[in-house]
Amino acid sequence: MAEQYSLRVEKRTGTGKNVMSRLRHSGYVPGVYYTKNGENIQVQVIYGELEKVFARAHKSNIVDLAIQDGPEQVNKPVLIWDIQKHPAKDLMLHVDFYGVDLKQEMEVDVGLEVTGESKGVAAGGIVTFYRDTIRVSCLPSVIPDQILIDVSELDINDSILVEDVVLPEGVTLKESEEGFAVVGVSPPEKTLEEEELEAAEAEESGPGEEGETAEGASGTTSEE
């Protein structure tokens, strides 16, 4: 059974830069709960509580959001949809919660991760991602944290197309196009020394061949 996550937030009425600043100095993170019906509810959550839950639930696990409004409390299933971070410090500034219908599939972008030791890498190649995420459709309760791609059989210049990615049970591909590669093994990059050596060899061989041709042509003309 999947781990259960819960988080308590408080409904707030204040908005604006000064209000947000006071909340943060008081140990809260301002946020918005977007209901599945399109309504926006302003909330605030204790920084440490959000930090602990997000570290485990990430953006792909359902969180039971307990919204406190005075003496009343309502619980809603949500995803932690987005967290705005400070540009210079590792601090959370704002959070968006997205309300979901547990019985209705939704489209989400899920990150990719490789597994296995590629034959091409063993030969000096480099695993290259052409896409960081792919779009899938599934119930909120089975959104994967990431999609694993086995690259064991990939040799240098081989790749895996999006339609060949093996998806978890209950998850279907929703990309609008097919035929594009998501990950592959690129040839090893040439070092600066190798590039300089190749350039030097090309420079030496090029004029020599031309000289020999010109010499031969000159000799033929002389005999005539």
Q: What pLDDT digit, counting tens, does each position of 48-96 carry? A: 999 999 999 999 999 999 999 989 999 999 999 999 999 999 999 999 9
Which are the contacts of 71, defined by CB distance < 8 A and separation ≥ 6? none
Q: Considering the domain 106-186 in this protein, what is its CATH number?
A: 2.170.120.20
Distance CA 20, CA 195 (A): 55
Per domain, the residue ranges of the chain are 5-99, 106-186
What is the pTM assigned to this prediction?
A: 0.74
Q: Does domain 5-99 have CATH number 2.40.240.10?
A: yes
**Structure confidence by residue, pLDDT tens digits, 117-159:** 999 999 999 999 999 999 999 999 999 999 999 999 999 999 9
